[in-house]
Amino acid sequence: MLAGSRLVVVTADEDELVLRPPPPAAGVADVRAAVRDALRFPLAGEPLEALVPRRGGRATIVVEPPSLPLPGTDRDPRQDAIAAAVDELERLGISSGYQTLLVAGGLARRPGHDVVANLVSPDFGRRFHGHVEVHDVERDDLVEVVGGGFPLRVHPSLVRADVVVVVTAAETVLHGGPAALVGAANREALRSAGAWSLLETTASQGWRTALALERALVGRVPLIGASLVLNHPRATGAARGYPYDDEALERIVDSPFRRVFGLLPGSVRATILRSLPLERSVAAAFAGPPSVAHAEALIRGVELRGATIDGELDAICIGVPRTTPSLPRERPNPLLVAQLGLGLALRLWRDAFPVREGGTAILLSRFQRRFAHPTQQPYRAFFAAARNGPDPEALGRGEQQAVDARAVEAYRAGRTVHPLQPFVDWNSCAPALSSLGQVLVAGCRDAAAARSLGFVPTHGLGAALTMTRGWTDRPPRIGFLLSPPYFPLRVSTPSR
């Protein structure tokens, strides 16, 4: 299992499960052609050709930073999808000089030039003459499109364009499709955009907010979306076949280089892991109203990338890699480790939560309280508020105090995440924490950080497994989640 930058070898008993993703499906040969055909023959609604005004006009293309899925690849298929949308708009009379590429990053750190440049291929970047806008949730001229309990305001380019095209990959109900519109909205909309499961729209305020924005925008500007179904990455070189093949696992375990790798400094191990060649392909492309195309692509992605568990688990062990869920990748602090394990991996489920009520989650991580400066500075404010434990009232006061002029200015300058982001990350863990009885941190090196989040620190995975087995009068059913990549879990229960 991958824990941080370390490879941990675990021997599973006969009654324990090794949860691994299925191998990548066959990919489409030409991503640009697939996206072009999808825009011409959408699942519902008018094709792009019918939405573009005859006199030309201006177009806004909404994209998201390719932070998900993990791990990323140097050559992302979304580059070709964006190029296909731009080319199709040019064919219909809107030259690239009248197109705006809107990067909807939400509360995450505003991407710099390097991240924005990687959204498209170098060849496309040289010939694109349009504008690139990186959304700022704090800008003063956001346009209100929905009133009510709290107003929903969006980037001006969404309402001043003659047509809006959303180009994303279907990852979760909060990433891709109409959720990209939320990523281009005000902080109140983003703060409220949660979900119980990242693969089900039920009990997802984020999905409801996204639908409200989509419907409001449709009344003001023609809107269409293109959603990709991304396959799992395929490793080449020394890691070929991991984590899909038994042969690959045995080869890595028996390799003498694994022991040498374990003796290297953590930064060197992380660099080696990042340099492993990965390839990612597209299984399908859909277009139509953003919510329709996204829902269809998301269902297809669950079928292709997911694994089925026969019944609930008593405990699940999750390896957390040494990375952050947003770009640029950095060493994660303890809250980001929790967000990756509990807020991402343990929310990728359908039909039922994979762990029984009162069960155990084991996070395999060193859990060291280090904050990359200045990019993770707002997380210090969160841990200051949680110094006596994750008390909701204390965290609420800490959240109010965190949003000050200095922190907001650092976000707007692209130096840090928004000061609300740490509290959103913690809220993403709430669905899993409400079902679990305890969370153990195996290999924890900062017991105070673990206890401030309400977790139990342990010296290693062996100690964590011993504690888990001692809490039941029968052999517990433990699942070991081979990751990354994190993948959908479908839980079949006797009642289903």
pLDDT at 291 over 50: yes
Q: In what order do the strands lie in the sheet with 307-310?
A: 307-310, 489-492, 349-350
CA 301 – CA 178 distance, rounded (Å): 17
Over the stretch 363-380, which tens digit does the pLDDT of each residue have?
Answer: 999 999 999 989 999 999
pLDDT at 263 over 90: no
CA 224 – CA 222 distance, rounded (Å): 7
Cβ atoms of 190 and 173 within 8 Å: the answer is no
The residues of the chain that CATH labels 3.90.226.30 are: 2-21+306-492
pLDDT of residue 478: 95
- Which residue carries 């809006």 as its tokens? 164
pLDDT at 244 over 70: yes
pLDDT at 355 over 70: yes
Over the stretch 83-100, which tens digit does the pLDDT of each residue have?
Answer: 999 999 999 999 999 999
pLDDT of residue 220: 94
pLDDT confidence bin for 250, thresholds 50/70/90 = confident
- Which residue carries 């480790």 as its tokens? 337
Q: b or e along 374-403 (b: 16 or more beta carbons within 10 Å of the residue's beta carbon)?
A: ebbbbbebbbebbeeebeeeebeebbeebb
Q: Please provide the average confidence, as pLDDT, over all residues in the chain.
A: 93
The CATH T-level fold of domain 2-21+306-492 is: 2-enoyl-CoA Hydratase; Chain A, domain 1 (3.90.226)
Task: Identify the weakest region by mean pLDDT among 154-168, 244-258, 317-331, 353-367.
Answer: 244-258
The residues of the chain that CATH labels 3.40.50.11440 are: 31-230
pLDDT of residue 237: 78
pLDDT at 293 over 90: yes
pLDDT confidence bin for 148, thresholds 50/70/90 = low
In angstroms, how far is the first alpha carbon of the chain from the final one? 31
Mean pLDDT of 355-369: 95
CA 408 – CA 439 distance, rounded (Å): 33
* Ordered DSSP codes for 146-198: E-SSS-EEE-GGGTSSSEEEEEEE--BTTBSTTHHHHTTB-HHHHHT---SST
pLDDT of residue 496: 46
Over the stretch 98-122, which tens digit does the pLDDT of each residue have?
Answer: 999 999 999 999 998 888 988 999 9
Q: What's the gap between Cα 480 and its chain centre? A: 21
Q: 416 Cβ partners below 8 Å, 6+ apart?
A: 109, 374, 375, 376, 377, 378, 407, 410
Tell me which CATH homologous superfamily contains domain 31-230: LarA, N-terminal domain (3.40.50.11440)
Helices and strands: H and E segment counts in the chain:
19, 21
Q: 3-state DSSP call for residue 87?
A: helix
pTM for this one? 0.94
Mean pLDDT of 128-136: 95
Provide the CB-side half-sphere exposure for 62 (13 A, CA): 34
